[in-house]
């Protein structure tokens, strides 16, 4: 349910964001204050989420980022120096909005506000212990609360380890560590009759190592925070997590996504990147004129079940024991090339079936029986070829969902749309009264519907219009024609229209020639067209190379024109 709730929250923000008209406004200045430092992974994830939103508005928004470094140094030590620095930098150049991450930066920003940016609204995220009284007396402020759910993680631990005898709680002396310990104490009474709690609070590294090694193995560790020990020693992200994993004789759980690594099993965790993204989207709404006080604080923190595959294996926790919708990190990936191999195997099998069918057909003695069996057999072949291609398409779609690199996911989506275009041809042949040719008008209509779904054209405000004459194509021309149409329309969607949307027009019809008819295919978009001096025949793009190869296969010709966008005209001869 958490995963679906999170998607609903994102959809609401995204739909709202589409209506924000930033383009006509003067450039705005946004000051981002981070409580911690570069390299602290939670802060890096929040910053990544913020940048993923602001990078779409670089012409309208100038972003300044400052790091307070209070994870490694006490706030009382660093804030006086940072206050003087910020006063010097922004007193005469105040920001239009201040965006903060985590508690220290929010408190610091509210204290700086009267002297440096009294008119600027404040948007916060990653704030623990949020309550409306915390903003008492403050105006023009809103944000995202970091309401991690301790009971959900405790329930998870007890479910995955039914014979658990204790939970060891680790926390440090930082402000965050003390906040987190206090949050645990508010709910611990509900579990004291089910499991023993052992507390290791504000220890030195040496003391904690000794106590953890003495623990029996039939327990679990809940890591609330261990970044600075009692002696003041600061541990890096990797040092802290690796130290606990190597020292504790039992599984380790946490409440934050960035800590699911280096031996930590997982938990029901707060998502740092989503915190930053939602806070940046709130900022865009405010910069576009919506009062900050009219936007309620988002108290439903975007949390999910996160797990590390290697830690699950180490402690013998099966994947089917995890809650539905769990995200498993570091899972071994199957090679993309294996799925490409499946594609070619399917084609070879389909070709082999077709060859055997033809041999079988030629050996029939009775003409009437031969014609009847031929029709049934070819229909079955087209049906099986279509099914095989659909299986390959489904495999590619499943693999695409596991990709972290957007380029790999885009590559698989391109492969999938090409396979779908071929499967659709065999589907039309299966339902056609003629076994060797298809009507292109219903084929194109169905293909455009699939492209609209694959590329989310409605959400991206891309309008696809077409005028297709109902021409028949034989199998030899229909497959390269379908692939060519997919490539031209896909290129127009990905490169021919802007991020704000646009129009794509497709026309297909007959052109009379001196000795035969030609089929003319035209695809036009409302984008910027090719850059000046660009030669598509010399381009190294796989898509453009494939287009020229398909045109040659059809014995056709292609013309590229920059006419209020890119207009592509392909013509190829039809059999006499």
CATH code assigned at 244: 3.40.50
Summarize pLDDT for 213-223 with one digit per residue, the tens. 999 999 999 99
Work out the pLDDT band at 491, boundaries 50, 70, 90. confident
- Give me the mean pLDDT over the 417-423 stretch: 60
462, 430: one domain: no
Q: Tens of pLDDT along 554-569?
A: 899 999 898 888 899 9
In a domain, 166, yes or no: yes
- Considering the domain architecture, whether residues 345 and 281 belong to the same structural domain is answered as no
Let me know whether 6 and 123 are in one domain.
yes
Domain span holding position 141: 2-147+273-303
pLDDT at 224 over 80: yes
* Cα(110)–Cα(381) distance, integer angstroms: 71
Has residue 313 been placed in a domain?
A: no
Please check whether residue 392 lies inside any domain of the structure: yes
Residues 7 and 140 in one domain: yes
- Looking at 262, 287, 303, the residue that finishes a domain is 303
Residues 513 and 375 placed together within one structural domain of the fold: no
Is 466 a domain residue?
A: yes
Average pLDDT value for residue range 167-187: 88
pLDDT of 103-155, one tens digit each?
899 999 999 999 999 999 999 998 877 788 888 888 999 999 887 788 999 99
Which band of pLDDT confidence, cut at 50, 70 and 90, is reported for residue 399? Answer: low
Q: What's the pLDDT at 507?
A: 93
Sign of CA dihedral 149, 155, 159, 162: positive
Q: Mean pLDDT over residues 55-64, rounded?
A: 90
Instruction: Give residue 373's pLDDT.
Output: 45
Q: Looking at the structure, do residues 29 and 113 belong to the same domain, yes or no?
A: yes
CA dist 387 and 430 (Å) reads 11
CATH code, domain carrying 68: 3.40.50.2300
- Does 402 score more than 80 pLDDT? no
The answer to whether residue 12 scores a pLDDT higher than 60 is: no
**198, 463, 538 from 534: Cα distances, Å:** 68, 26, 9
HEC secondary structure over 22-66:
CCCCCCEEEEEEECCCCCCHHHHHHHHHHHHHHHHHCCCEEEEEE
Cβ neighbourhood burial of 4 (10 Å; 0-12, 13-18, 19+): exposed
Give yes or no for residue 498 having a pLDDT over 70.
yes
CATH number of 470's domain: 3.30.565.10
Domain check: are 39 and 173 in the same one?
Answer: no
Last residue of a domain, one of 402, 435, 468: 435
% of the chain at pLDDT higher than 70: 80
Question: Which of 227, 254, 281 is the C-terminal boundary of a domain?
Answer: 254
Say how many domains are in the chain.
4
Q: How confident is the model at residue 438 (pLDDT cuts 50, 70, 90)?
A: confident
78 burial via Cβ count (<10 Å: 0-12, 13-18, 19+): middle
The pLDDT score that the predictor gives to residue 495 is 81
Indicate whether 310 belongs to any domain: no
> Looking at the predicted structure, is the pLDDT value of residue 506 above 80?
yes
With a CB cutoff of 8 Å and minimum separation 6, the contacts of 375 are 435
- Is 259 within a domain? no
Same domain for 155 and 143, yes or no, is no
Same domain, 423 and 452: no
- Strand 28-34, strand 61-67: pairing: parallel
Same domain for 277 and 339?
A: no
Q: Which of 574, 180, 413 is nearest to 188 (CA)?
A: 180
SS3 437: strand
pLDDT of residue 424: 56
Q: What is the pLDDT of residues 366-396, one digit of tens each?
A: 545 544 544 544 444 444 444 555 555 555 5
Burial of residue 212, with CB atoms counted within 10 A of its CB: 0-12 exposed, 13-18 middle, 19 or more buried: buried
Counting Cα atoms < 13 Å in the Cβ hemisphere of 217 gives: 2
C-alpha to C-alpha distance for 30 and 392, rounded to whole angstroms:
47
The answer to whether position 312 is within a domain reads no
Do β-strands 517-525 and 502-512 pair in parallel, antiparallel, or remain unpaired?
antiparallel
Residues 142, 289 share a domain: yes
How confident is the prediction for the chain on average, in pLDDT? 81
Confidence of residue 320 (pLDDT cuts 50, 70, 90): very high
Are residues 100 and 127 located together in one domain of the fold? yes
Q: Residue 356: inside a domain, yes or no?
A: yes
């Amino acid at each position: 349910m958490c995963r679906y709730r999170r998607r609903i929250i994102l959809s609401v923000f995204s739909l709202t964001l589409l209506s924000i008209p930033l383009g006509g406004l003067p450039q705005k200045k946004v000051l981002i204050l981070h409580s911690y430092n570069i390299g602290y992974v939670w802060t890096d994830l929040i910053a990544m989420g913020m940048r993923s939103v602001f990078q779409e508005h670089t012409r309208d928004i100038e972003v300044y980022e400052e790091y307070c470094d209070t994870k490694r140094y006490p706030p009382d030590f660093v804030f006086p120096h940072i206050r003087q620095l910020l006063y010097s930098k922004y007193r005469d150049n105040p920001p239009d909005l201040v965006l903060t991450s985590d508690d220290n930066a929010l408190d610091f920003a509210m204290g700086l506000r009267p002297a440096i940016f009294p008119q600027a609204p404040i948007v916060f995220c990653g704030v623990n212990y949020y309550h409306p009284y915390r903003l008492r007396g403050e105006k023009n402020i809103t944000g995202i609360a970091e309401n991690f759910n301790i009971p959900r993680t405790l329930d998870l631990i007890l479910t995955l380890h039914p014979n658990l005898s204790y939970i060891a709680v680790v926390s440090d002396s930082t402000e965050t560590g003390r906040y987190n310990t206090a949050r645990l104490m508010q709910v611990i009474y509900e579990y004291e009759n089910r499991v023993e709690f052992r507390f290791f609070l504000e220890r030195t590294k040496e003391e904690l190592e000794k106590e953890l090694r003495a623990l029996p193995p039939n327990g679990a560790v809940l890591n609330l925070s261990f970044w600075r020990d009692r002696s003041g020693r600061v541990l890096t992200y990797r040092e802290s997590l690796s130290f606990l994993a190597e020292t504790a004789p039992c599984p380790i759980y946490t409440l934050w996504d960035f800590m699911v690594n280096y031996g930590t099993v997982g938990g029901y965790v707060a998502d740092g990147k989503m915190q930053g993204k939602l806070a940046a989207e709130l900022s865009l709404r405010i910069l576009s004129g919506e009062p900050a006080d009219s936007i309620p604080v988002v108290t439903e923190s975007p949390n999910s079940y996160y797990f590390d595959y290697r830690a699950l294996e180490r402690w013998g926790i099966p994947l089917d024991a995890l809650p539905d919708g769990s995200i498993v990190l570091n899972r071994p990936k199957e090679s993309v090339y294996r799925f490409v191999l499946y594609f070619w195997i399917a084609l070879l099998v389909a070709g082999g079936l077709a060859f055997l069918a033809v041999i079988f057909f030629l050996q029939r003695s009775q003409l009437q029986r031969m014609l009847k069996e031929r029709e049934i057999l070819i229909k079955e072949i087209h049906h099986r070829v279509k099914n095989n291609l659909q299986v390959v398409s489904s495999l590619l779609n499943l693999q695409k969902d596991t990709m972290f690199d957007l380029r790999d996911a885009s590559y698989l989506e391109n492969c999938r749309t090409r396979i779908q275009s071929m499967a659709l041809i065999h589907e039309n042949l299966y339902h056609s009264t003629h076994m060797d040719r298809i009507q292109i008008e219903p084929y194109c209509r169905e293909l455009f519907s699939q492209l609209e779904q694959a590329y989310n054209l409605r959400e991206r405000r891309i309008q696809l219009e077409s005028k297709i004459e109902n021409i028949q194509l034989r199998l030899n021309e229909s497959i390269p024609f379908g692939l060519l149409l997919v490539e031209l329309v896909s290129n127009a969607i990905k490169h021919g229209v802007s991020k704000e949307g646009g129009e794509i027009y497709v026309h297909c019809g007959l052109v009379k020639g001196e000795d035969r008819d030609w089929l003319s295919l035209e695809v036009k978009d409302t984008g910027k067209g090719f850059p000046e001096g660009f030669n598509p025949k010399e381009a190294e793009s796989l898509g453009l190379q494939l287009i020229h190869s398909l045109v040659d296969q059809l014995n056709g010709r292609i013309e590229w024109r920059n006419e209020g966008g890119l207009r592509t005209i392909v013509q190829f001869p039809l059999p006499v």
